[in-house]
């Protein structure tokens, strides 16, 4: 099936870096892996399928040789703004929901990104980054907690369309009830660290768990979807603690939509099961698409065989470079189209049913869930 005419609602992605930050070969290569190791970037990324295929496809777009040097030269020979718009138009991304917590001084802010992209952009609130900033700003736990609760409680009024937690990276998904006293005690050493260094990385399980539970209550009050990172991701994610099955306690008491990200890869069967049995769980396909490359159809066969088409959503989890958005859209449409063609050929779905499933997964489910 040719799924290119179906617009994508990219419900989980990150901001772009400004062009000078991705212009040389070393910077370009590093975004084709989740590893932060320079040796992986320099020696091994050029031998990955994601990089080699991606470079070939991108070179075809620009009519140049499929070498990194030729591609970067052809890329630099045209206006960056025009190149970004071309990639987003060809990816047919109609709406982008952006988590700005993964950014620095070289990243576009929300106003800049909306001005650059040819699609609608809506922000999401990343909770652990917010908490880190508030720990630095406030002297006591009570002050920090009040500021956190007020900010999260005003998320929808301030234009955010979802909350997002990376607790899986920090302390794992086995989120427990925590007393206010235990959370306050965990705040003390973090505040001392913040005073010494001027910043803090929140990785205290009592405080992480407590703040996520506070945020879940605020999400329920605002009817806001709540995104959880699950499965693989940055190198600081311990896969043993990122299995979405650890979230069962949260799932069974949460009263807001829970969007479990990245297909839980490699635990996509477990996540498909959760989406199939719990009405408040939705399954996201980002990051696993595009990084799983030729394994995407096998993953999607298992997911579509278990989970309801109405509970599955495509996204890119793209970041830094516009090329990643385009490549994720291409890999995703290829894999989904291939599997739906098989379902039609085997008599599992009619062509009309398969097309409706593709429309739901690529955009309509996200439109409904996030009230877009």
Across the range 227-240, mean pLDDT stands at 89
- 45-83 tens-digit pLDDT: 999 999 999 999 999 999 999 999 999 999 999 999 999
Tokens 């879940």 locate to 216
**Helix or strand or coil: residue 69?**
helix
Closest CA to 12 of 93, 91, 96, 110: 96
23 pLDDT band (50/70/90 cuts)?
confident
Across the range 17-27, mean pLDDT stands at 80
Across the range 329-355, mean pLDDT stands at 98
Beta strand 258-260 with 281-284: parallel, antiparallel or unpaired?
Answer: parallel
User: Are 62 and 298 in contact, with CB atoms under 8 Å apart?
Assistant: no
Give CA separation, 67 vs 167, 265, 294, 323, in Å.
39, 30, 21, 15
- Name the segment(s) of the chain with CATH classification 3.20.20.140: 8-16+79-369
CATH code assigned to 8-16+79-369: 3.20.20.140
Two tokens at 288? 């696993």
Two tokens at 28? 């370009």
103 pLDDT band (50/70/90 cuts)?
low
Whole-prediction pTM:
0.96
Residue 95 forms beta bridges with which residues?
9, 120
- 299-315 tens-digit pLDDT: 999 999 999 999 999 99
Q: For residues 306 and 31, give the distance between their C-alpha atoms in angstroms, rounded to a whole number.
A: 32
């Amino acid at each position: 099936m040719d799924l290119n005419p179906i617009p994508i609602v990219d419900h989980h992605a990150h901001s772009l870096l400004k062009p000078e930050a991705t212009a040389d070969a070393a910077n370009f290569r590093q975004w084709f892996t989740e590893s932060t190791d320079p040796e992986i970037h320099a020696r091994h990324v050029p031998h990955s399928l994601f990089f080699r295929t991606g470079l070939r496809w991108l070179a075809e777009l620009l009519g140049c040789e499929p070498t990194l040097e030729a591609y970067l030269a052809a890329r630099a020979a045209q206006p960056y703004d025009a190149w970004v718009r071309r990639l987003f138009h060809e990816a047919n991304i109609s709406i982008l929901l952006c988590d700005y917590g993964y950014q620095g001084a070289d990243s576009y802010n929300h106003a800049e990104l909306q001005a650059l992209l040819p699609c609608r952009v809506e922000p999401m609130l990343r909770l652990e980054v917010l908490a880190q900033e508030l720990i630095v700003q406030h002297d006591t736990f009570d002050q920090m907690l009040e500021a956190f609760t007020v900010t999260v409680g005003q998320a929808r009024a301030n234009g955010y369309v979802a909350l997002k937690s990376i607790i899986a990276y920090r302390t794992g998904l086995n989120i427990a009830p925590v007393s206010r006293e235990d959370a306050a005690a965990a705040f003390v050493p973090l505040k001392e660290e913040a005073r010494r260094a001027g910043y803090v990385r929140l990785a205290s399980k009592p405080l992480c768990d407590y703040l996520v539970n506070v945020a879940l209550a605020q999400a329920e009050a605002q009817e806001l979807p709540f995104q959880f990172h699950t499965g693989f991701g940055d190198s600081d994610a311990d896969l043993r603690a990122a299995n979405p099955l650890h979230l069962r306690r949260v799932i069974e008491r949460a009263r807001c939509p829970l969007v479990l990200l990245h297909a839980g890869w490699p635990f996509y069967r477990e996540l498909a099961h959760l989406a199939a049995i719990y009405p408040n769980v939705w399954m996201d396909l980002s990051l696993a698409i595009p990084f799983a490359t030729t394994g995407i159809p096998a993953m999607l066969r298992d997911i579509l065989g278990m989970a309801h088409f109405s509970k599955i959503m495509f996204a890119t989890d793209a970041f830094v470079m516009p090329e990643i958005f385009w490549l994720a859209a291409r890999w995703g449409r290829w894999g989904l189209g291939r599997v739906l063609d098989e379902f039609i050929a085997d008599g599992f779905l009619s062509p009309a049913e398969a097309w409706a499933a593709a429309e739901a997964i690529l955009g309509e489910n996200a439109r409904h869930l996030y009230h877009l």
